A and B are shown apart, each in its own frame.
Chain A
Amino acid sequence: MGKLDGKAALVTGAGRGIGRAVALELAAQGAAVVVNDLGTSLGGEGSDQSIAQQVVDEIKAAGGRAVANTSSITDYDAAGEMVQQAVDNFGQIDIVVNVAGILRDRMIFNMSEEEYDIVAAVHLNGTFNTVRHASALMREQRSGRIINFSSVSAWGSPGQPNYGAAKYGVLGFTAVLANSLNKYGVTSNAILPGATTRMTDSTPRGLEFMKEHGKLPSEMAEGTDGDPANVAPMVAYLATDDAQHINGHFFGVRGTTIALYSHWEMAGVLTAEGRWKPEELIELFPDTLGKTIKAPEPVTLPGSPRPLKGAAAMQADPATWKTLAPGIELWERSTYFDAKR
């Protein structure tokens, strides 16, 4: 008995990396899967139909149900056909997981129009295209699961103006879905994954690794923290009936850690009885809103290869973790919960 018996899923970008791991996990939990992958290069060039088929074969060999789809999610009508393929083969569409993505990294002042356009087309238009068609059916059947892939690059990765913008856009889009489709029994959540895949192979750190070890990081990821398979269980969980109450949330998933993000809230307010004058803001800002505006400096710890920022810096202290169950620990951002008190 699987947690997803009788359900039908579409997973985009399911031929390799995280998408493949998600497709395999959904199938292992009993879902029938449309395995979509265009089989392009990391930069979005070319196509290879065998990539999706290999994952379908793997699922079938393990006794599961799957069909391959090798269309591009950037094509509005083709995305509709992917959803229809699930209906034609498996009778319905219950789960859509948007993983497909490409990279074209460049500093903004050197970026070409095409580098922007193609990344926005795949990540943003592609995610819209599948959801647009699936949501119409999910609305009719009064149930559904949408799981979109964002990225921590959304928080401002310097060399990724295209990818970072698209991935923050996915968060906004997911929030809209959460607010507009929940009345039809549909939940929508976003994952900010971390894994060692061909995407991270292409980063400077990945290339450094290659020089040192003679192998790409992704080739040595299996069984490590960076194994893309580690991302899959959380996705499968969000797709289950058990997770019906989880809607509109952003989860960071890497290795065996699962992080929950806060959302946008007011940190401070300056108010007046009439329109402000710029001079008034110049005078009052530093001691009011300006007081908390600087982020803390990164922390360098003995043994850590690079300085730690944000939650990672706080989590380095073992005392901030408490045991929830044997082998399982929970960390809370004390500054956030203090502020909420």
Chain B
Amino acid sequence: MGVLDGKVALVTGAGRGIGRGVALLMAEEGASVVVNDLGASLDGHGVDTGPAASVAAEIKAAGGNAVANTDSVTDWQAAEGMIQQAVDAFGKIDVVVNVAGILRDRMVFNMSEDEWKDVLNVHLKGTFNVCRWASVRFREQRSGCIINFSSNSAFGAPGQPNYAAAKAGIIGLTLNCANGLSRYNVTANAILPSGHTRMIDSIPRAREAVAHTGKLPSELAKGTDKDPENVAPLIVFLASDAARSVSGHIFGSFGFSYVLMSQPKIIKTLRSDHRWSVDELSELIPKAFGPELETIKNDSGFYNKIQEIPGGQWVDLGNGREFWGSKLEPYGENVW
């Protein structure tokens, strides 16, 4: 008995890394899975039907149900085909998990048009394509679950203007799905994952690690808190019937910790009984917003922030599990 028995899921980018871990655990918990992966290189070049097929084979060897799909999420019709493949193979579609992604890091002042467009295309349009076609089915069957992968890079990673814009856009799209599809009993949540995958292998810090250990970070991650498979249990939970009332939120997975994010909201408002002049604003904005203009930072180092939570603030849940809760409201400025 698994917590996803009888469900049908599409996982994009499921051939390697985090996506693979999600597909394997969903299948282990009883879901039938369309394993999508184009098998492209990290920067989006080339194709290889191997990764998707091998994950599907792995699932089947363990007694699960899976089919492989090697199309690109950037292709509107191919995204429709992925949903259709789930319906044809398993009778319906209950869950879509959008993990597929590429990297083309560059500072904004040096970035090429292609570096921008390719990354936006895979992450944001690819996620839109899959959500668009899944939402048609979800609306008809009056149920569904959307889990989209964003990133803490969305909150301001300096060398990733393209990736951050796309990953932030995915949060916006997810909130739109949550609000637009709630009447059809569809949930939508966004994930900030972590884990040592080939994405991490590509960053400068990883090259230092190779110099030290002779191995890539991804090769040393298995079983540690850097293992990309650590993200999967959160995804399975959100896809399960136990999370039917959880929608419109941003969750992070960092090490062995899961985070519920507090979304941006209005914290101060200044109002006048007349139209502002620029001179007035020069005087009053620092006075009204001063401390927050200094203290609010686009700082996404959540892994470290978790380590910095003082020991006394954790609530013991038994078996080595602990909970830390702030009084911050998780939902955003919910104007809709």
Contact = CB atoms under 8 A, between A and B. Distances in A.
A265 B261 contact: yes
B160 A270 contact: no
A319 interface: no
A317 interface: no
A161 B335 contact: no
Given A181-B108, A262-B265, A172 B335 contact: no
Given A128-B165, A256-B271, A271 B265 contact: no
Interface string A127-169: 0110110011001000000000000101111111110111111
B170 interface: yes
Contacts of B255: 271
Interface string A160-200: 11101111111111011111110000000000000000000
A139 B111 CA distance: 14
Interface residues of A, number: 120
Contacts of B170: 165
B269 A259 contact: yes
A273 B170 CA distance: 31
A312 interface: yes
Given A158-B179, A242-B282, A280-B321, A165 B234 contact: no
A273 B256 CA distance: 7
B45 interface: no
Interface stretch (A11-19, A48-56, A59-67, A227-235): A227-235
Contacts of B159: 180
A108 B168 contact: no
A40 interface: no
A156 B124 CA distance: 15
A98 interface: no
B253 to A, nearest CB: 9
Given A135-B109, A164-B176, A288-B317, A120 B125 contact: yes
Nearest to A79: B113
Contacts of A301: none
Contacts of B256: 271-276
Nearest to A309: B334
A278 interface: yes
A178 B229 contact: no
Central interface residue in A155, A180, A312, by most chain B CB within 10 Å: A155
A136 B265 CA distance: 32
A36 interface: no
A236 interface: yes
Contacts of B139: 109
A267 B249 CA distance: 11
A179 B109 contact: no
A111 interface: yes
A25 B279 CA distance: 13
A248 B246 contact: no
B120 interface: yes
Given A172-B156, A268-B259, A333 B161 contact: no
A256 B276 contact: yes
Interface stretch (B35-43, B61-69, B213-221, B302-310): B302-310
B95 interface: no
A262 B267 contact: yes
Contacts of A285: 237, 242-243, 246
Given A168-B169, A264-B261, A273-B320, A329 B271 contact: yes
Interface in A269-294: 269-282, 284-285, 288-294
Contacts of B263: 155, 264
A72 interface: no
A325 B284 contact: yes
A136 B160 CA distance: 16
15 contacts: A25-B278, A107-B180, A125-B117, A131-B108, A156-B178, A168-B175, A169-B165, A233-B281, A236-B278, A256-B276, A264-B261, A266-B305, A269-B259, A273-B256, A332-B267
Q: Which 10 A-B pairs have the closest CB atoms?
A: A172-B168, A168-B172, A169-B169, A156-B175, A175-B156, A339-B327, A158-B180, A180-B158, A273-B320, A311-B266
